[in-house]
Amino acid sequence: MVHYNHRYDLIKNSDGTCDLALVDTYIWIHLCFSEEEIESYYSDIIKGLTLGNWTLEQGTLNSEDGYEIYSKGNLIYTITKMKLHPEDLKENRIIPKEYSILEIKLSTRQTILEDEVKNRPWEVLRSGIRKKDGRGNPHIINNVLDSLLEYFPAQVE
Each of the 157 residues of the chain gets a pLDDT tens digit; together they read 999 999 999 999 999 999 999 999 999 999 999 999 999 999 999 999 999 999 998 876 655 567 899 999 999 999 999 988 999 999 998 899 999 999 999 999 888 889 888 988 998 888 877 777 788 888 888 888 888 788 888 876 6
Q: Are 79 and 100 in contact (CB under 8 A)?
A: no
Kindly report the length of the chain.
157
pTM: 0.73
In a domain? residue 75: yes
The domain in which residue 21 lies consists of 2-129
For residue 94, tell me if it sits in a domain.
Answer: yes
pLDDT at 65: 62
**Tally of helices (H runs) and strands (E runs) in the chain:** 5, 6
Residue 144 domain-assigned (yes or no): no
Residue 139 domain flag: no
Number of domains in the chain: 1
8 Å CB contact between 49 and 70: yes
Strands across the sheet containing 2-12: 2-12, 18-34, 99-108, 75-82, 66-72, 55-59
What pLDDT, on the 0 to 100 scale, is given for residue 61? 63
- φ, ψ of residue 103 in degrees (nearest 5): -110, 135
Nearest to 30 by CA among 68, 96, 81, 67: 81
Classify residue 89: in a domain, yes or no: yes
- Identify which of 35, 124, 121, 44 has the alpha carbon closest to the alpha carbon of residue 82: 35
Distance of alpha carbon 48 from the chain centroid? 20
What H or E segment, with its residue span, contains residue 29?
A: strand 18-34
Can you give the pLDDT at residue 133?
A: 78
Give the C-alpha separation, 52 to 58, whole Å: 17
Q: Is 34 a domain residue?
A: yes
CB contact set of 81 (below 8 Å; sequence gap of 6+): 38, 42, 61, 64, 65, 66, 67, 100, 101, 102, 103
